[in-house]
């Protein structure tokens, strides 16, 4: 069942790209974003990580982002360490968190993104070099974003309609600074 605003955030622990085990319980008392992504070499996903990294300094110092990928740790390290993220990037190889948060799959949504978001796709692949050489993970998974408040309550639950559809950064920023 999909999570919604007002639900208590379901805590989880997953391996991070730095080799540690990250537990969302470590974020108690803080506001944060949990963002779900497709496979590690997904151009849309890497473009979004790039955006979040580039704009991270606009957010409150106590706010953080937790990125969760449908990927093995080894594959995730291969494709995302180049971002030098200042927030945790986690591997959910068994899709336990994807199931816990009812992350959707849609072939139509995946195809739609390749048409509607063609300029973004070309930017990701041609200009930024985010090529999907190794598709290891669910290609039809759709992204989802959850803004979590200091009490562990979901403030905003956003389920993407296509492979490149995420919560607007302006909404993340307003929540982080609010």
pLDDT of residue 162: 92
Which of residues 135 and 110 earns the better pLDDT score?
110
Strand partners, 33: 65, 147
Average model confidence (pLDDT) across the chain? 89
Strand partners, 147: 33, 156
26-49 pLDDT, tens per residue? 999 999 999 999 988 888 898 899
76-117 pLDDT, tens per residue? 898 777 768 889 999 999 999 999 999 998 888 887 777 777
pLDDT of residue 132: 63
DSSP 3-state assignment of 92?
A: coil
- The structure tokens listed for 57 are 């300094």
| Residue 159: closest CA among 5, 55, 56, 51 | 5
Global pTM value? 0.88
- The structure tokens listed for 107 are 């072939």
Separation of alpha carbons 49 and 37, rounded Å: 10
Is 70 a residue whose pLDDT tops 70? yes
CB-based contact 113:165 (threshold 8 Å): yes
Separation of alpha carbons 64 and 66, rounded Å: 7
pLDDT of residue 44: 86
Separation of alpha carbons 94 and 45, rounded Å: 19
Separation of alpha carbons 112 and 48, rounded Å: 17
């Amino acid at each position: 069942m999909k999570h919604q605003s007002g639900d208590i955030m379901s805590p989880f622990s997953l391996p991070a790209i730095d080799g540690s085990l990250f537990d969302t319980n470590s974020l108690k008392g803080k506001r944060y974003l949990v963002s779900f992504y497709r496979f590690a070499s997904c151009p849309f996903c890497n473009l979004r990580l790039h955006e979040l990294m580039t704009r991270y300094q606009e957010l409150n110092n106590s706010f953080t982002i937790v990125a969760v990928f449908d990927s093995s740790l080894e594959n995730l390290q291969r494709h995302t360490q180049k971002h030098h993220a200042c927030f945790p990037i986690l591997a959910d190889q068994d899709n336990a968190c994807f199931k816990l948060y009812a992350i959707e799959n849609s072939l139509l949504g995946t195809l739609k993104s390749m048409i509607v978001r063609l300029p973004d796709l070309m930017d990701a692949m041609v200009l930024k070099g985010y090529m999907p050489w190794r598709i290891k993970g669910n290609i039809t998974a759709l992204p989802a974003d959850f803004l979590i408040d200091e009490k562990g309550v979901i403030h905003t639950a956003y389920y993407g309609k296509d492979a490149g559809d995420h919560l607007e950064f302006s909404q993340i920023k307003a929540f982080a600074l609010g």
